[in-house]
Amino acid sequence: MYAQDAKLASDSYYAATATPLPEQPSLQSNIRADVCVVGAGLAGLSAALELSDMGYKVVVLEGRRIAWGASGRNGGQAIAGYACEQAPLEKQLGLADAKKAFNLTLEGLDLMRARIKKHRIACDWTDGYMTVSVKPESTPELLDSVAYMRDTYDYPHLQAISPQELPQWLASKRYHGGVLDHNSAHLHPLKYALGLAQAALEAGVTIYEHSEVTELMHGEPATVKTAHGQVTASFVVLAGNVYLDKTVKKLAGRVMPVGTYIITTEQLDKTTANALIKNRVAVSDNNFVLDYFRVTPDDRMLFGGRVSYSGATPSNLKTAMQRTMLRAFPQLSHAKIEHCWGGFVDITANRAPDFNRLAPNVYYLQGFSGHGLILTNIAGKLAAQAIAGQAERFDMMAKIKHHPFPGGRMLRTPALVLAMAYYRLRDYL
């Protein structure tokens, strides 16, 4: 899986349009820290920045480069709420705590905006996100969500877009109605992650790249080993998601690595680019296996949606992705595809985030299930607060029950492939 992942990373539009940070050294000795964070993606960097601001000595271990995984390759949509939506949270946590959980994502949005302003992170932030219906029969339920979220969750930022109004927003005949969230947004995720890393470095965080964790030894303090060194720390935050499955085996069955893929076109003329999506908001459909897209600041269509639950990269990926894009936007048939990339996101069986402890001083953050841009930021803050003794909100999220994927390590992937084939078929019917 990881060799394919490296290949998929090489053609990223984000990597082609971001300035990398100077390479950080690898760990070559035995050191001591207050907190060792494993993973220099958004969750790990968020925790590290918060902890450093609280006065902790923080070391971050990254197996490859900063934001090398999903944090630097995702769809770039900063969406309020959760992939599982609110109903499962209401059932497990009760309505009062489900509201608190939803409000955490709003706090995460505000946190991102504040960090961008404070640290002057140029990451193409653009307000606006719209969910659209692929099937006419699913449109009424989608539009009804506006009143439910306003009345139950006191969230007034949603606007119903009727089937008659949708052509004013979206130059596509594939969709039949939508809900616009004026509060959610989209951005260049790699630029944001690199900006967060720079802020962490300036705050005194030490980041070691090319320092893959080989062993975690529990205890007080805990010890985190790499090939050429180790960190002894009072606390550990595990934020490596799917890349920790071989090292921290207790977490492996709780998340599944799912391949997701994105293309960008060549630069379009300004008139064409402006005509595709009003106000250049980000868009996602409401299928279970969904497509998502937006127009970039440099006038390209960025389109994602094909997924792989087997770990194998789909054949003829660029052609298949282009074909999917043209179902939504046939007017782009002559636009050349310049970038095609992907990577692995971590999904849970119930698509709710999985935050908890492996030991009293070992925290983990995973299971963002495709809604990671906001959740990783707030997850890092919650872990930092818990380490500092304010664990109420972290513990609330830890109450969400999770079950391992069925079939064990050998059979869980075939089982998921069969399940997703069913949902894909249901989307097409």
The mean pLDDT value for 191-197 works out to 98
144 vs 26, 51, 69, 179, 288, CA distance in Å? 52, 41, 36, 9, 18
DSSP assigned state of 278: G
Closest CA to 20 of 212, 209, 186: 209
Q: Helix, strand or coil for residue 181? A: strand
pLDDT greater than 60 at residue 424? no
Q: Where are the domains of the chain?
A: 2-418
* pLDDT at site 429: 44
One of 2.120.10.80, 3.50.50.60, 1.20.1250.20, 3.30.413.10 is the CATH number of 2-418, namely 3.50.50.60
Higher-pLDDT residue of 138 and 313 is: 138
| Lowest-confidence segment of 96-110, 207-221, 409-423 by average pLDDT | 409-423
Number of CB atoms found within 10 A of residue 119's CB: 16
Q: Is 233 left (phi over 0), alpha (psi -120 to 50) or beta?
A: beta
Q: Helix, strand or coil for residue 79? A: coil
* pLDDT at site 243: 87
* pLDDT at site 419: 47
Number of CB atoms found within 10 A of residue 367's CB: 31
Residue that is written with structure tokens 């962490």 in the block = 200
Query: Tens of pLDDT along 123-146?
Result: 999 999 999 999 999 999 999 999
pTM over 0.85? The answer is yes
Query: Tens of pLDDT along 253-270?
Result: 888 888 889 999 999 999
